[in-house]
Amino acid sequence: MLHALSFAFVDSINVLLIGVLVALAIMAAPGQYRRISPLLLLGDWLGVLVLALVVLVAFDGLQSIVDAVISSPLFGILLILTAVLTAVLTWRGGDSSELVDRILTPLRSPSPLTVLVGFTLGVIQSATSVPFYAGLAVLSASDVDTLHRYLGLFLYATAALSLPLLAGLALVVVRARPHSWIGRVFARARTNRDQVTRWSGWLVTVLLLAIGVAQIVS
């Protein structure tokens, strides 16, 4: 289970969601951020959880194939190739500010739509994340019994949202104390958003490369 969770923690480096939370903290009226951000995060968590359930059911249905891939060097090679692709995309860069602005449009006030936006973000982020699938493949191939494997999805989804959740909590402090050290950190990160995005991409690259090499060696 811990091996599977390691991929969930890599998946939690969700620059887009954290960027939305930061922008939301800047634009939200006093008292609104604390009402909107929990709904957004809840929706994202539900999106990750639902997709994780669907994927795990699919992997369990392909048990022999998943077991063969996980136990072979091919799994490590796939992770290394993903790390290389992540490095290329990070090097090329990109601006997500327009996408963030579009996402913020329905988040002006807390509503069921806020949860739906979070749910959609969670599904899309997970569906396009190789670490997300890798972690569930490891979980499917593990010797954890079926009941605890599926109950473990709640923990898996929470781990996959750990970094945005911490960022969301930190932003509460930033709004209350903008001149504190954490407020200065977020202000500097916001000013150097492209650089932060690049460093996040390089971090994911290094982690995937390390896990992939460890998988081959073991």
Residue 26's pLDDT is what? 77
Helix (H, G, I), strand (E, B) or coil at 110: coil
Gap between the terminal Cα atoms of the chain: 17
79 has a pLDDT exceeding 60: yes
* 146-160 average pLDDT score: 90
87 has a pLDDT exceeding 70: yes
122 Cα distance to chain centroid? 8
Q: What predicted TM-score, i.e. pTM, was given to this entire model?
A: 0.82
What gap in Å lies between CA 161 and CA 76, rounded to an integer? 24
Q: How confident is the model at residue 187 (pLDDT cuts 50, 70, 90)?
A: low
Residues 47 and 122 sit within 8 Å (Cβ to Cβ): yes
Residue 58's pLDDT is what? 93
Residue 43's pLDDT is what? 93
